[in-house]
Amino acid sequence: MVDEGQAVAQLLPDDRSLDALKEAAAGCRACDLWEKGTQTVFGEGPPQARVVMVGEQPGDQEDRVGKPFVGPAGQILDEALKAAEIDRSLVYVTNVVKHFKWEPRGKRRLHLRPDREEVAACLPWFEAEIAAVQPRVIVCLGATAAQALLGSGFRVTRERGQLLASTLGPPIMATVHPSSILRAADEPSRRLAMDHFIADLRLIREYLG
């Protein structure tokens, strides 16, 4: 079996600036997802951001546009950040997997969750982003990011909103993925889920002072 982590390690440039990392990641073939994705969707935001927010993988629109969280989940994120008084333009936003994994369903491209090997293969890019940005805190959006960084036993429902120590350096807080709010069964549950998401983000706002 190919050691995918090592494959990315070999692609990492000597210049570890975000621009150089993004350029190198554009040609990444460390797992098979590049074959179906339109492009590598690298993180985006200020090089010295105090907060890094990390999701699962680009969605359909992100894959087309080449930027993270610009589709429907991104709109929920924008709304929640605004309510929590966090300026998105000061946040570095990225994903643990940088290609869109999907299968055709009629004319649509249906999101598929990345598997453990794909997450592991891509993770060195995220580690390099963290080393370059050196944020004060990392926020995991959803279980895929949280389990990638905090272990497969991590449960967002149980441990969301807590600042946890990590080997990456900065503490990590996990919350729900914004797309879970889009999937709420009705308007009252959507409102409740959104309020809880905003409350988690307010904790980050307070932590930053």
118: phi then psi, degrees, rounded to nearest 5:
-65, -40
- Interface with ligand URA includes 118 (CB under 6 A)? no
40 makes contact with ligand URA (CB under 6 A): no
Question: What's the min distance (Å) between Cβ of 167 and ligand URA?
Answer: 22
95 near ligand URA, rule: CB under 6 A? yes
Cβ atoms 94, 68 nearer than 8 A? yes
CA distance 77 to 80: 5
Q: What is the spatial distance between Cα 4 and Cα 8, in angstroms, rounded to a whole number? A: 7
Interface map 143-182 toward ligand URA (x if CB under 6 A): ------------------------------------x---
62 near ligand URA, rule: CB under 6 A: yes
Position among 40, 57, 147, 175 found at the interface with ligand URA (CB under 6 A): 57
Judge contact between 199 and 161, C-beta under 8 A.
yes
For ligand URA, which is the closer residue by CB, 102 or 188?
102
Residue 44 is classified by DSSP as B
Q: Which is nearer to ligand URA, 18 or 73 (CB)?
A: 73
- The two tokens of residue 43 are 């993180």
Between 50 and 99, name the residue whose CB sits nearer to ligand URA: 99
- The residues, ordered by sequence, that sit 6+ positions from 73 with a Cβ below 8 Å of its Cβ are 55, 59, 177, 178, 179, 182
Q: Is 73 in the site for ligand URA (CB under 6 A)?
A: yes
Residues that bind ligand URA (CB under 6 A): 55-59, 62, 68-69, 71, 73, 95, 179
